[in-house]
Chain A
Amino acid sequence: MNPTGLLLATFVLSLVGLFAFIWSLRRGLFAEEASGARTIFSSGEVGLPEEPAGDARQHRELQSLANAANSAMPRQVSAEELRARQAADRSSAFPAFVLIACAVVWLVVASAAGLLASVKLHMPDLLTDQAWLSFGRVRTLHLNAVAYGWAPLGLLGIAIWTLPRLLKTPLRGGRLAVVGALLWNAGLVAGLGGIAIGINTGMEWLEIPWQVGLLFAVGGMLIGLPMAFMLQRRQVHHLYVSVWYTGAALFWFPTLYIVAKIPGIHFGVEQATMNWWFGHNVLGLFYTPLSLASIYYFLPKVIGRPVRSYNLSLLGFWTLAFFYGQVGAHHLIGGPVPEWLITLSIVQSVMMIIPVVAFSLNQHLTLKGHFGALRHSPTLRFIFFGAVMYTFASVQGSFEALR
């Protein structure tokens, strides 16, 4: 049988399977639509905006906007539920602070390295007497400080703060997460130091050798386990869409990293396909779901209005899970890689338009009529800008993947 036919048959079959799976999950969802999306609000809280970064005046403005848009006036939230949320916030405050503070430090380091690398492209004779300041190394330092410093630590910090709220249970084992963050940072310092002196595995996104990667594995596990255990002790019946994204990402990333780092298995061109399976899935199955999880939480919460279409978010999640995993080979178009694999990746890259549009449409519908809130909420401005950039960059990516 010719490979194109086989590929097409497998693709159609798995697509049918995917939609059957989504359909099986949405049983009763039309009826429960509102209740699922309302999980993040306490009873009677819909219509009450929450802006943790705003001052009193901004709160007043947000509230009056919400009142104007909602015909149903908000009722009073029970003091007990607010106390429970406060307890959940307090339990996660320190670990979240540690993770986000480290992320910010790495953002500064990474940006400095990125800027230097960029300047060097224009001034190739700048700082050429030390090996560690050479373009190839500074650029690699920049990439790794973003990929293993800023992005994962910041996103895990947000996840560890939102999960206790989403599951309505205090974070236990926060100290484990702090120890994990320290180990992760130790691994990153070792890894970046190694790159600076020329210890490098030669694969993009995987430059840090597996011996140092063990620190990421242990540290990441210590950060992730308290979050995974919270799922078991949750006080909510329904898992909100942010929990799907965060939960899945917490299982996806370790799998990606371990498979990519097993020593002595990968060879030749297969190693290259593995490399881009990993490289792209770190974006698609770790950064993206954690980022979308925070948007799905903050955007409705800041304006005090539940996500409009819960079915769209379900579709968005599972199509992302299915399509994003297979797009990596579009980095190897024209390369000495089996042709069917590249074709598959191109097809899935274009299919990524489905989850991206599902997400963007959903956020747009949710924000519709509340765009004025952007003027009064710094949180919402960041969230909105990020969501819009995600949409643009993803659609651009789909088209750039074409042969």
Chain B
Amino acid sequence: MENELKLVAGAMVTLSLATAAMIVVPFLQLKDVPPPAALKTYTSEQLRGREVYIANGCIACHSQQPSSHGAGVADSRRGWGRASVAADYHYDTPPLMGTMRTGPDLFNIGVRQPSADWHLGHLFQPRAYAPGSSMPAYRFLFEIKSTESVAKGERVVSLPPGTVRPGEIVVARPQALDLVAYLQGMKHNYPVLGAEQVEAAAHRLATREVDAGGGKKGERDVAADRP
């Protein structure tokens, strides 16, 4: 190869193909998807909590994308919720989908653990709630005080006995409260399919069941039902 222009041009064409496939087409395909009616916008407290989530790299261990196949095949059995859809992330910039699960998926943690006390205590010392957990303790989001020095309006964390020394008490800093508000708001258990889609899905499911029992015929039915 002697021509550097051909080299650079060829290199840029291959990259453009990749960019078209992975950015431009998803952009066009998803840009007009409306938010689900039941999806709530974040409160400013939750948005601050989301920043705490980002700043502390929670994404390193927690995903926000339950799924019905692939790595998340058992998610609904674990009670982590239905598979997420693109519209669920309408208010998320960036979406915090994550790719690793050292800890559980958090897309519906607000449904599983609605209690602020549980969240605060668990953030302060995960092993007081889940023995053997490898989640780091987030002590810097809390203050340990003597029982007498607690001021009015401070959020005292109720902890399992023995977590701190007698006479000491744990108070949540604002960051911890924001983060917990964000986690409590992680509820994506509303339906995302319209009535027609539900009917179509039910129909397809029914024909697939026929297929499981009856072999070839059902397969044709499923294929014919595809839009």
Residues of A in contact with B (beta carbons under 8 Å apart): 2, 14, 21, 25, 120-122, 124-125, 128-131, 134-137, 139-140, 198-204, 231, 237-239, 243-244, 247-248, 251-252, 255-256, 259, 266-277, 281, 285, 314, 318, 321-322, 325-326, 328-329, 331-338, 341, 344-345, 403
Contacts and interface: CB of A to CB of B under 8 A. Distances in A.
B18 A326 contact: yes
Contact of B15 (A269, A285, A335): A285
Contacts of A274: 22-23
A267 B70 contact: no
Given A269-B30, A334-B65, A335-B67, 19 more contacts: A2-B226, A25-B1, A120-B136, A121-B134, A124-B126, A136-B60, A137-B56, A203-B94, A231-B4, A239-B2, A252-B15, A255-B15, A267-B31, A268-B86, A274-B23, A276-B22, A325-B19, A336-B89, A338-B25
- Select the residue from B29, B73, B88, B94 with max chain A CB neighbours within 10 A: B94
Interface of B: 1-2, 4, 6-8, 10-12, 14-15, 17-19, 21-23, 25-27, 29-31, 33, 54-61, 65, 67-73, 83-86, 88-90, 92-97, 99, 102, 126-127, 133-140, 226
Nearest to B227: A2
Nearest to A127: B136
B214 to A, nearest CB: 24
Contacts of B95: 268-269, 271-272
Given A202-B96, A333-B70, A325 B140 contact: no
Contact of A136 (B18, B22, B58): B58
Contacts of A344: 21
A353 B99 CA distance: 24
B26 A326 contact: no
5 contacts: A134-B57, A204-B59, A268-B89, A269-B30, A322-B14
Contacts of B65: 334-336
B17 A325 contact: yes
B85 to A, nearest CB: 5
A251 B96 CA distance: 30
Contact of A244 (B1, B23, B31, B126): B1
B26 A135 contact: no
Nearest to B223: A2
- Select the residue from B7, B11, B93 with max chain A CB neighbours within 10 A: B11
B60 A332 contact: no
Contacts of A270: 23, 26-27, 30-31
B17 A322 contact: yes
A26 B75 CA distance: 51
B12 A251 contact: yes
A248 to B, nearest CB: 4
Given A248-B11, A251-B8, A273-B26, A139 B140 contact: no
B21 to A, nearest CB: 5
A242 to B, nearest CB: 12
B110 to A, nearest CB: 18
B59 A247 contact: no
A168 to B, nearest CB: 14
Contact of A134 (B30, B102, B136): B136
Contacts of B138: 128, 134
A15 to B, nearest CB: 11
A201 B94 contact: yes
Contacts of A204: 59, 99
Contact of B89 (A14, A269, A276): A269
A344 B94 CA distance: 23
